[in-house]
Amino acid sequence: MLNVTGDLPGDSWGIFTFLCAALCNLPALPALNCSEELGAGQSIQQTYDLTRYLEHQLRTLAGTYLNYLGPPFNEPDFNPPRLARAERVPSATVDLDLWRGLTDNARLAANYRAYSRLLCYLRVLDGQVGTAELRHRLAHFCASLQGLVLSIGGVMSSLGYPLPAGPAGPPAGPPGAPPAPNDFLKKMDDFWLLKELQTWLWRSAKDFNRLKKKVPPAVVTLRLEARGF
């Protein structure tokens, strides 16, 4: 393992020390790189599996929640028009060619940002629902979703991408969202939140499929980015 101990006197000295340490560890590097590559690949597979698990969980959760909201939200044919206020929930919908052309970084970042925000909204929901059963289910789902966000973050780090800035942790409430003026619109917001979450989970499965095939070959991770050296 590369260890840079103690305070570094300055950038140039830091880089020098770092290089020395790296050269000393050079024989071990191939093995390290292999495990890192394997690590990224495994992380992607794990993240993919997690999205499938969450999708499965969401089906049960959504069924229960929509029944709690009552008709027409729990009707299978319910197909309301998209209201303007629903636009604040991050949408998975994307132009086909645009989606194909996304770089790995952009693809991962889009997923990371979307689930972070969706998690915020869900947490707000958690505080408002009536029944204990629903609260329990929601809490469980939020925990799993948090796991997914962290997993995506892990993949990004292992591939050397910076994490997108923004609310990764749980803030007080959803960013810049006006509260619903009446009960029905509040329910509509909940409906669209669940729908977007479902669509994102379907999309993520496809995103991670693509990433699985494109995990970069062994890259020597001598990154000299500004990371405090």
Partner 1 sequence: MCWSLKELIPPEPVQKQPVVAWGSAESGGKEGAKIPDLSSEGWSSSQKNPLDVYENLGTPQGLWTGGEMANPVPSACCMVLAAVVVVYAQRHSQPDSHTQFERVGADVTMKCGSMDWDAAVTWTVNGTDIDESHLNGSYLILKNVDLSQSGQYSCYEGSAWHLKYQTTLKVGTPPREPVLMCRSNNYPKGFYCSWHLPTPTYIPNTFNISVIHGTKEMVCEKDAVPKNRCHIRYLQLFSTVKYKVTLTVTNALGKNYTTVTFDEFAIVKPDPPESVVAKPVPNNPRRLEVSWQNPSSWPDPESFPLKFFLRYRPLILDQWQHVELSDGTSHTITDAYAGKEYIIQVAAKDNDIGTWSDWSVAVHATPWTEEPKHLTTEAQITETTSASTSSFMAPPTTKICDKGAVVGSGAVAVCWTAGLVVAAYSVLFI
Contact with partner 1 (CB under 8 A) among 3, 93, 183, 223: 93
State the minimum distance, in angstroms, from the CB of residue 107 to partner 1: 11
The verdict on 123 binding partner 1 (CB under 8 A) reads: no
Contact with partner 1 (CB under 8 A) among 74, 91, 105, 221: 91
Query: How many residues form the binding site for partner 1 (CB under 8 A)?
Result: 26
Cβ-defined contacts of 10-17 (< 8 Å, 24+): 11/229, 14/229, 15/224, 15/229
Residue 28 has, within 13 A of its CA and on its CB side, a CA count of: 7
Torsion of CA 64, 69, 70, 74, to 10 degrees: -60
Rounded Cα–Cα distance for residues 155 and 89 (Å):
24
Answer whether 193's CB lies under 8 Å from 121's CB: yes
The verdict on 71 binding partner 1 (CB under 8 A) reads: no
Q: Which residues contact 202 (CB under 8 A, 6 or more apart)?
A: 55, 92
The verdict on 196 binding partner 1 (CB under 8 A) reads: yes
The verdict on 84 binding partner 1 (CB under 8 A) reads: no
Rounded Cα–Cα distance for residues 119 and 117 (Å):
5
The verdict on 140 binding partner 1 (CB under 8 A) reads: no
State the minimum distance, in angstroms, from the CB of residue 143 to partner 1: 23
* Stretch 155-194 residues interacting with partner 1 (CB under 8 A): 192
Nearer to partner 1, 99 or 229 (CB): 99
Contact with partner 1 (CB under 8 A) among 102, 195, 221, 229: 195
Whether the bond between 90 and the residue before it is cis, its omega within 30 degrees of 0, is: no
Answer whether 224's CB lies under 8 Å from 15's CB: yes
State the minimum distance, in angstroms, from the CB of residue 151 to partner 1: 17
Q: Interface with partner 1 by CB under 8 A: which residues? A: 52, 55, 77, 79, 81-82, 91-96, 99-100, 192, 195-196, 199-200, 202-203, 205-206, 209-210, 213
